[in-house]
């Protein structure tokens, strides 16, 4: 998991700018569908990440029907000290 986070941090977030969360999500969707999915799969470099996902998709569980709520925390500067 840590490598996935590092990959996203170093290859998606590095030097990226966005205007709001919708812009960031749109950029992330495009990146996931494009460059990120076409890289070699770490476990089998003969396949791309997208090809591996297509092979494994039928084994994945469905997402829950109801969405879970996200809690938002104040920015660091807003915490009282």
Q: What is the pLDDT of residues 68-80, one digit of tens each?
A: 777 776 666 554 5
CA 19 to chain CA centroid, Å, is 18
Confidence grade of residue 67 (pLDDT, cut at 50, 70, 90)? confident
Instruction: Say what the pTM is.
Output: 0.61
User: Is-contact 55 44, C-beta < 8 A?
Assistant: no
């Amino acid at each position: 998991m840590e490598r996935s986070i590092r990959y996203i941090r170093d290859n998606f977030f590095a030097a990226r700018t966005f205007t709001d969360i919708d812009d960031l999500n749109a950029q992330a969707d495009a990146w996931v569908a494009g460059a990120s999915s076409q890289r070699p799969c770490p476990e089998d470099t003969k396949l791309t990440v997208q090809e591996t996902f297509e092979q494994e998709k039928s084994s994945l569980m469905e997402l829950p029907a109801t969405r879970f709520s996200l809690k938002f925390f104040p920015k660091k500067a807003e915490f009282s000290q």
